[in-house]
Homo-oligomer: A and B are copies of this chain.
C-alpha cells in the first residue's frame, strides 16, 4: 500500500509546527492543542499518527535536529572527528536547537517514556561519530577494546557544556582542542608524559 500524499503532507505540517513550538516554548510548553492550532490539523488526526504527545515531540525534535548525516571518511581520524564535531558545533550555535535540546534533557529527566525515546534518538544522532571511532579502531588508530561511550562523552561533552551551560559560542579552535584532548587519552601512549591513567 502506498502512502497517501495528503497524509504525508499533513504529517509534515504537524511535525513542522511542533518543531517550531519546541524551539519557541521548550518541550514542557508544547501541547497537542497548540500543535493542532498552528498546523491547522484536528487533534484526532495527530493522535492517529502518533500514539502520544511524547512520541510526536521526539519525532519533531528529530526534524529540527536534521536527519542523521553520513560520516566523513578522509582517512585521518583527527580530521574526521573535527568534521563531525564541527557539524555539532554549528547546531549548538543555533540558539533554537540548543534550547530545544536543553528542554528535551529536562523533560527526559522527568518522564520515563520521553527518556527512552530521547536515548534512542541520541543513539541515532551520534552514529556519524561512532562510525568514525569504529573506523579508527578498525585501522588500528584507536585501541581495539576502547569504550565508545567514554569516547563520545570526552569528544562531545565539552561542546555541549560550552553551549548549554556556559552559554558561549563553540568556536572552531575549541573543537580542535577538544579533539586533541580526547585523542591524547584515547590513543595508545607509548611512554607518554602523563601519570598512569587509572588505578
Q: Which residues of A contact B (CB under 8 A)?
A: 26, 28-29, 78, 95, 98-99, 101-103, 105-106, 108-110, 115, 118-119, 122, 149-150, 152-154, 156-162, 164-168, 173-174, 176-178, 180-187, 189-190, 192-195, 197-199
Smallest CB gap from A123: residue in B:
B166
Question: In the bound complex, do residue B185 and residue A180 qualify as a contact, i.e. CB atoms below 8 Å apart?
Answer: yes
Main secondary structure of the interface of A (DSSP, over half): helix
Q: A189 — which chain B residues lie within 8 A by C-beta?
A: 193
A193–B187 Cα distance when bound, in Å, is 10
Smallest CB gap from A159: residue in B:
B157
Q: A157 — which chain B residues lie within 8 A by C-beta?
A: 157-162, 178
Tell me which of B28, B105, B156 contacts A105 (CB under 8 A). Answer: B105
With A153-B166, A157-B157, A161-B156 in contact, do A197 and B180 touch (Cβ < 8 Å)? Answer: yes
Copies of this chain per assembly: 2
Q: A162 — which chain B residues lie within 8 A by C-beta?
A: 153, 157
With A106-B102, A176-B197 in contact, do A168 and B149 touch (Cβ < 8 Å)? Answer: yes
Can you add 20 more A-B contacts, CB < 8 Å, to A28-B29, A176-B199? Answer: A26-B28, A26-B106, A98-B109, A103-B109, A105-B165, A108-B167, A115-B167, A122-B166, A149-B168, A150-B174, A150-B177, A153-B166, A157-B157, A157-B178, A158-B158, A160-B165, A183-B194, A184-B185, A184-B192, A190-B193
Question: In the bound complex, do residue A102 and residue B105 qualify as a contact, i.e. CB atoms below 8 Å apart?
Answer: yes
Question: In the bound complex, do residue A165 and residue B122 qualify as a contact, i.e. CB atoms below 8 Å apart?
Answer: yes
Question: In the bound complex, do residue A181 and residue B167 qualify as a contact, i.e. CB atoms below 8 Å apart?
Answer: no
Smallest CB gap from A161: residue in B:
B157
Q: Which 10 A-B pairs have the closest CB atoms?
A: A184-B184, A157-B161, A157-B158, A157-B157, A181-B185, A102-B106, A99-B109, A102-B105, A103-B106, A153-B158
